[in-house]
């Protein structure tokens, strides 16, 4: 999906990592109250009856100061107030202030920070979830730091201003402060006896599911993000939009629609594979099958010098344009401007080269080959070289042709496809969507009105029966939330809650997707059903996934929930897009399953059934080792502020002879170990802080053997 998988330029990364989304959700989707800071949480006062602690008034609007009282700020003409403190240091939880807004004015304020370098950060409009009435017409506003400074950049200015035209009347503003960095207390600091009890259970007599280690994969190295080895990820995928045009002989590819259809130097696949082998990380390699790859590292598809003025051009290369005329209509170009044609023999030669190197080292360097990337989006992402809408027949023929070439070069290969992008790509072809969409769906109707993926599986099963050649081992689909703003860094209460709910699209048949989809996606059960009905024996892979918010606990909880569902549903492999930044909540969600104690302890190899009374509020995932006597349990609390006491029934597992706990509630430090318990019990009682990931490392006594 989202462009390339490896750093090319910061500006290119910023435009390529976006999911496809539909219309915004109504405000009614927000169902969770924002966790609030209070005056007791203040770390530093900026203004309270006057400037404090070395803070300075840097303007810009007129204001009158009430002695020992508020500032009367004029917000007309997009007015505002900037407060500054050179050399400001510290970790902060957010901006807190009080304002006496004129009745009937509605929303008009925004807050943002300015970095020490002078660059402005995210501008946050003050909404209903950010306000709290404190009496006498005053409203207290709190904006969390995750929304104001998602990248953790040092800042030295705070700005409060109008984001729309406003009247001339001055507005009282007072008690401006920065709050302390807000992290919930660790589980060990809470007394379960004082918390609301919630019932949970683990069933050690139910059939256990083998957990594939490849579900903890990422999409290759990403600039300034945690590496696979920091995350203790098990797999790394060479993929993304650029991989469709990768020339392995030149180490070149084309950026496509992500960046002005320009050819550029690419990383070498050999280095990617060697690094992974050296760190014990499995590699998934996307192979191009669109039929064209970059011819060099310097060409581009839509030169202004040859094709005339266009809608946009590369600010660093003015002759490279976006292939749209001034009215927004696409321009035709010659494929040979930036590409050379390839055949399956080209891919076969690549795989043979890889296998020859493997023979020298005695190690397999590629564990899965993926048949290109999001083929139903080729007419958009790569419209310079594939403007024709991809059809059922084209996808099937290219899969057979290139899959056969891989099989011939590597008979033991694991081959995955079709690496489709999302909902409409599961059901329809690009040809359908270009000719009447889901209503007319002419291509699908011409193929028995069978959903694209189901047809693809059945046709490949028939191909294997007829020829004896298997060109698909694993069904690979991509998955992203489609709700407005969920995928990014937004962490307001409504979108944070929806981000967590959106993970239900993976598994819950009752969850109606809160986006333009407006129906249950139930991706994992749907994939299993399609496989069982059309091509039994195939594995399941989620080749790209990401629920956003990886710098916020809502994103960490979404990651932890997703890993648990992958384990529960027997997913073969999965690759997060791309990887969470180092020491963010997203990184620690990975470590919950891969190295929660810093000593290699992890979620174990056999998934064991677990239930909770309120699945929308908490989740519980359990695993056991081969002996059945060691159990690792992960408990998630989705409430942003309410801690609960989990009462986990482990009667069917024998007794918990000892329990060691670890909890994570945010911040860069990772998991906090709690006191170990050695009291044998059939009910483990554990405090779960608000917005938390809690791990119970359990030694079982008299446990039943694994039911396989």
Q: pLDDT, tens digit, for every residue of 105-142?
A: 889 999 999 998 888 888 999 988 788 888 889 999 98
CA separation, residue 115 to residues 85, 305, 368, 567 (Å): 11, 40, 44, 42
Which residue in 64, 72, 65 sits closest to 100, CA to CA? 72
> Sign of the C-alpha dihedral, residues 94, 126, 147, 47?
negative
Enumerate the β-bridge partners of residue 82: 159
Mean pLDDT score of the chain:
91
- For residue 304, pLDDT over 60 is answered with yes
- For residue 6, pLDDT over 60 is answered with no
Is the CB of residue 263 less than 8 Å from the CB of residue 297? yes
At 38, is the pLDDT very low, low, confident or very high (cuts 50, 70, 90)? low
Of 38-47, 535-544, 640-649, the poorest mean pLDDT is in 38-47
What totals of helices (H) and strands (E) does the chain contain, helices first?
Answer: 17, 36
Predicted TM-score (pTM) of the model is 0.81
| Numbered ranges of CATH 2.60.120.430 in the chain | 36-180
- The pLDDT of 642-647, averaged and rounded, is 95
Measured distance CA(670)–CA(34) in Å, rounded: 23
Enumerate residues 6+ apart whose C-beta is below 8 A from 503: 547, 558, 561, 562, 565
pLDDT of residue 32: 30
pLDDT of residue 57: 96
Q: Is CATH 3.30.70.360 the right assignment for the domain spanning 190-207+608-701?
A: no
3-state secondary structure 352-413: HHHHHHHHHHCCCCCCEEEECCCHHHHHHHCCCCCCCCCCHHHHHHHHHHHHHHHHHHCCCC
**What tens digit of pLDDT does each residue of 594-607 get?**
999 999 999 999 99
Measured distance CA(553)–CA(548) in Å, rounded: 11
**What tens digit of pLDDT does each residue of 275-300 get?**
999 999 999 999 999 999 999 999 99
Select the CATH number that applies to the domain covering 10-22+212-301+338-602 from these four: 3.20.20.60, 3.40.50.1000, 3.60.15.10, 3.20.20.80.
3.20.20.80
**What tens digit of pLDDT does each residue of 53-73 get?**
999 999 899 999 999 899 999
**What tens digit of pLDDT does each residue of 458-493 get?**
999 999 999 999 999 999 999 999 988 788 777 777
Measured distance CA(322)–CA(368) in Å, rounded: 34
pLDDT of residue 625: 97
Enumerate residues 6+ apart whose C-beta is below 8 A from 57: 51, 81, 82, 83
Q: Is the peptide bond before 418 cis (omega within 30 degrees of 0)?
A: yes
| Numbered ranges of CATH 2.60.40.1180 in the chain | 190-207+608-701
pLDDT of residue 194: 92
Is the CB of residue 441 less than 8 Å from the CB of residue 434? no
Query: Span 36-180: which CATH code?
Result: 2.60.120.430
| Numbered ranges of CATH 3.20.20.80 in the chain | 10-22+212-301+338-602
**What tens digit of pLDDT does each residue of 9-33 get?**
222 222 233 343 332 222 222 223 3
- For residue 3, pLDDT over 50 is answered with no
At 350, is the pLDDT very low, low, confident or very high (cuts 50, 70, 90)? very high
| Alpha helices for 25-76 (secondary structure H) | none
């Amino acid at each position: 999906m989202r462009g390339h998988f490896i750093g090319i330029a910061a500006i290119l990364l910023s435009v390529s990592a976006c999911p496809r989304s539909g219309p915004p959700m109504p405000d009614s989707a927000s169902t969770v109250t924002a966790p609030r800071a209070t005056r007791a949480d203040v770390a530093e006062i900026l203004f309270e009856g006057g400037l404090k602690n070395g803070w300075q008034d840097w303007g810009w609007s007129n204001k009158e100061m009430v002695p020992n009282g508020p500032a009367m700020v004029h917000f007309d003409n997009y007015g505002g107030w900037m407060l500054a403190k050179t050399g400001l240091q510290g970790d902060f939880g957010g901006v807190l202030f009080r304002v006496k807004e004129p009745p009937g004015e509605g929303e008009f304020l925004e807050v943002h920070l300015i970095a020490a370098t002078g660059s402005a950060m995210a501008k946050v409009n003050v909404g209903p979830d950010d306000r709290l009435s404190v009496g006498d017409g005053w409203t207290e506003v709190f904006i969390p730091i995750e929304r104001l400074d998602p990248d953790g950049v040092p800042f030295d200015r705070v700005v409060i201003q109008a984001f729309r035209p406003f009247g001339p009347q001055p507005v009282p503003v007072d008690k401006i402060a920065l709050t302390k960095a807000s992290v919930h207390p660790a589980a060990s600091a809470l007394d379960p006896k004082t918390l609301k009890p919630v019932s949970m259970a683990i069933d050690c007599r139910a059939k256990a599911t083998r957990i594939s280690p490849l579900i903890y994969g990422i999409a290759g190295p990403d600039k300034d993000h945690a590496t696979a080895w920091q995350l203790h990820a098990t797999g790394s995928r060479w993929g993304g939009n650029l991989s469709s045009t990768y020339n392995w002989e030149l180490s070149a590819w084309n950026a496509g629609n992500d960046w002005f259809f320009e050819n550029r130097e690419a990383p070498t696949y050999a280095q990617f594979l060697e690094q992974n082998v050296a760190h014990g990380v499995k590699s998934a390699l996307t192979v191009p099958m669109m039929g064209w790859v970059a011819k060099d590292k310097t060409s581009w598809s839509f030169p202004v010098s040859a094709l005339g003025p266009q809608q946009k051009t590369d600010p660093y290369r003015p002759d490279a344009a976006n292939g749209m005329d001034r009215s927004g209509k696409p321009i035709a170009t010659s494929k040979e401007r930036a590409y050379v044609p390839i055949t399956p023999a080209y891919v076969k030669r690549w795989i043979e080269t890889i296998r020859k190197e493997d023979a020298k080292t005695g190690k397999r360097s590629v564990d899965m080959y993926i048949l290109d990337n999001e083929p139903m989006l080729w007419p958009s992402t790569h419209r310079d070289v594939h403007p024709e809408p991809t059809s059922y027949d084209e996808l099937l023929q290219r899969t057979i042709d290139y899959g056969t070439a891989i099989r011939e070069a590597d008979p033991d290969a694991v081959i995955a496809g079709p690496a489709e992008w999302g909902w409409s790509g599961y059901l329809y072809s690009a040809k359908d969507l270009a000719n009447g969409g889901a209503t007319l769906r002419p291509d699908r109707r011409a193929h028995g009105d069978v959903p694209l993926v189901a047809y693809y599986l059945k046709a490949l099963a028939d191909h294997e029966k007829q020829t004896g050649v298997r060109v698909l081992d694993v069904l690979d689909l991509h998955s992203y939330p489609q709700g407005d703003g969920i995928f990014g860094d937004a962490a307001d209460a409504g979108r944070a809650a929806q981000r967590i709910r959106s993970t239900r699209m993976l598994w819950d048949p009752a969850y109606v997707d809160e986006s333009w989809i407006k129906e249950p996606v139930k991706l994992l059960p749907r994939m299993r059903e399609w496989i069982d009905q059309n091509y039994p024996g195939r594995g399941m892979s989620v080749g790209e996934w990401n629920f956003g918010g990886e710098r916020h606990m809502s994103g960490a909880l979404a990651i932890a929930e997703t890993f648990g569902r992958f384990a529960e549903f027997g997913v073969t492999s999965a690759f997060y897009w791309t990887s969470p930044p180092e020491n963010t909540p997203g990184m620690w969600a990975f470590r919950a399953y891969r190295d929660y104690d810093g000593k290699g302890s992890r979620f174990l190899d056999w998934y064991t059934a677990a239930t909770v009374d309120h699945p929308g509020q908490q989740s519980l995932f359990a695993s056991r080792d081969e002996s059945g006597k060691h159990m690792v349990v992960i408990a998630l609390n989705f409430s942003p502020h309410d801690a609960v006491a989990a009462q986990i029934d482990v009667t069917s597992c024998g007794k918990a002879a000892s329990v060691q706990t670890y909890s994570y509630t945010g911040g860069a430090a990772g998991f906090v170990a709690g006191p170990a318990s050695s009291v044998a019990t059939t009910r483990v009682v554990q405090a779960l802080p608000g917005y938390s990931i809690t791990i119970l490392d359990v030694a079982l006594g008299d446990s039943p053997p694994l039911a396989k």
